[in-house]
Structure 1
Amino acid sequence: MATPGSDGTAGAPPAGETGDTTTLIGRPADRYLDEAADHLAAVKDEILRRLRVRPGHRVLDVGCGNGTDALELARHVGDAGEVVGVDVSEEAVAGAIGRGLAAGAGVSFQVASVYALPFPDASFDACRSERMVQHLEDPVAGVREMLRVTKPGGRILVADPDHGMWAPDLADRETTRAVLAWWFDNVRNPWIGRRLPGVLRAAGARDVHVTVMPVVLRGVAAADGLTGLMDALRHAGDAGVVPAERARALREEAARRDADGGFVMYGAIALAEGRRPE
């Protein structure tokens, strides 16, 4: 998500172009992705478990960002395997290449679109994507391309948040609902989490299964780092989405609860998995 108002349109956070990760939730992508990794450790562990990668596997990470997840996958496929990460952002791929070189891992990165993956059919034993499909104009086409490069019988796993499920502990329910709906409606597919099983089936996946993983963000810093909550409250008040004084009161309430160690925000990420038909 780009910084609200950065497109010159007053009062609304613009929906970025597909795959534009220069900024996410109003901050540099690298910083956002590192913060998110800390808060989503349990989700990432479950993705890895369900992907069932083994030594010798060849695995594709679509929307690899800064390469952290691809490097973890490389540990599991071992020297006999291979991990490839792709992202549409040249900046992200350059950073991922640097991390890979520093780690000395058997992983490669390249710039590519999910709609046109530069690999032959049936190139990978498994394919993963995390928090990428929410930004796609055509999720089914993107997942269909991921299935194309997966071997028959190979596993595909797509994980995305459902932005309709974020629940910060704030007293003013009406204002909180209005702010969150406005803020996350600027994600291209804000409710993609609940749609993922249907997306995988429409793309041609078989044996589709979905697991919903809870996300618990303890403290304002965690909530702001992953969702941009405080930015949302500030920009919504400035833009007149909600009365400025009510938005300010919510920010102050969050800060008070945070100081007392009592602020929490809940959410959910859907993990949808399936197989390419034999």
Structure 2
Amino acid sequence: MTSETTDRGRAADGGSGWKGEPGDTSTLLGRPAVGYLDAAADTLGTVKREILRRLGAEPGRRLLDVGCGNGTDVLEIAGRVGPSGEAVGVDVNERAIEEAQARSTGTGVPASFLTASAYALPFPDGHFDGVRSERMVQHLADPAGAIAELVRVTKPGGRVLVADPDHGMWAPDLDDRDATRTVLTWWFDNIRNPWIGRRLSGLLRAAGLLEVQVKPMPVVLDGIAAADGLTGFSDAVRRAGEVGVLPPDRVRALTDNIAEREADGGFLMYGVIILAEGRKEG
């Protein structure tokens, strides 16, 4: 479940883009997936560090990353759990797993990677001390089913942590509010669960987890390059004009407004990633 797997190239049909399970995720937002995920990792460094802190990546622990992408986070976990621990990453994308395995070669850390579906994890019940998933559930047809599977492989008393953006909360600083709202809504509706962030707490409680906590983590995208890197915002504006979501004059005005903000160093786009976690009973 590589992060941000929606194929924006299919959004040009007027908004009926890809809404199924991840398939060919070799390109993301029109760029090679590996480069996209690396850039996202830099942007979301604070979020990732908080996930690791809450997951308890300490020596001797068994930890699983579902939707691990190119494996960067698993390698970080492996370095923390050490040779007495276990760090495993799974992803439905075979290319991502191949890249993760290549990156792990020669590192000397106890990381392993498997191609697997979030709905059918190849591990026994209660195997892991903690399980994490970051920016994966937003793409799934059955979020509850996947979370139940994360809970199944977590040992009693272990923790499950799920982090996903709420795409209804992106806020670029632009003048035309109506046009901006229109573009953002259309663009992110190409993701199966664009508002999944606000649902995570309820999903974890429904899966039987106890002590469910939620922490909204702010994301500040400073400059249009950062906004494009994580959300493809410029591409969204352009394609909205191409398919008639916005008329050409509104697209030109919005594009000019972005350029004006960028020229004076003032383009900012704000968002939020929701971290939800809970403890398995036992």
TM range (shorter): over 0.9
Q: Please, which moves more after superposition, 165-174 or 250-259?
A: 250-259
Q: Does 1:255 align with 2:259?
A: yes
- 2:237 counterpart residue number: 233
CA distances 1:79-129 after superposition (whole Å, capped 9, x unpaired) = 111100000000000000001114332100010000000000011010000
Shift of 1:24: 2.4
Output the CA distance in 2 between the equivalents of 1:27 and 1:204. Answer: 39
Shift of 1:32: 1.3
TM-score (norm 2): 0.95
Q: Is the 8 A contact 1:2 1:13 kept in 2?
A: no
Shift of 1:13: 5.9
Q: Please, which moves more after superposition, 18-27 or 110-119?
A: 18-27
Q: Does 1:276 align with 2:280?
A: yes
Output the CA distance in 1 between the equivalents of 2:219 and 2:274. Answer: 10
SS in 1 for 2:194: coil
Tell me which amino acid in the other structure corresponds to 2:97. V
Q: Is the 8 A contact 2:134 2:163 kept in 1?
A: yes
Using the aligned pairs only, state the percent identity. Answer: 62
Q: Does 1:163 align with 2:156?
A: no
Output the CA distance in 2 between the equivalents of 1:242 and 1:221. Answer: 22
Tell me which amino acid in the other structure corresponds to 2:255. R
SS in 1 for 2:9: coil
CA distances 1:118-148 after superposition (whole Å, capped 9, x unpaired) = 0000110100000000011111110000010
Runs of at least 5 residues in structure 2 that lack an aligned partner in the other structure:
1-5
- 2:227 counterpart residue number: 223
Tell me which amino acid in the other structure corresponds to 1:2. D
SS in 2 for 1:117: coil
Q: Is the 8 A contact 2:82 2:109 kept in 1?
A: no
Output the CA distance in 1 between the equivalents of 2:197 and 2:159. Answer: 19
**What is the aligned counterpart of 1:4 among 9, 16, 20?**
9
Runs of at least 5 residues in structure 1 that lack an aligned partner in the other structure:
none
SS in 2 for 1:211: strand
CA distances 1:207-261 after superposition (whole Å, capped 9, x unpaired) = 1100000000000000000000000000001100011221122122212211221
- 2:3 counterpart residue number: none
Q: Is the 8 A contact 1:179 1:232 kept in 2?
A: yes
Cα 1:191/1:267, change in 2 over 3 Å: same
Tell me which amino acid in the other structure corresponds to 2:189. D
The 5 A counterparts of 1:200-215 are 200-215=204-219
CA distances 1:172-199 after superposition (whole Å, capped 9, x unpaired) = 0000000000000110100000000001
The 5 A counterparts of 1:6-25 are 10-12=13-15, 14-20=17-23, 21-25=25-29
Q: Is the 8 A contact 1:4 1:12 kept in 2?
A: no
Output the CA distance in 2 between the equivalents of 1:16 and 1:109. Answer: 26
Q: Is the 8 A contact 2:170 2:269 kept in 1?
A: yes
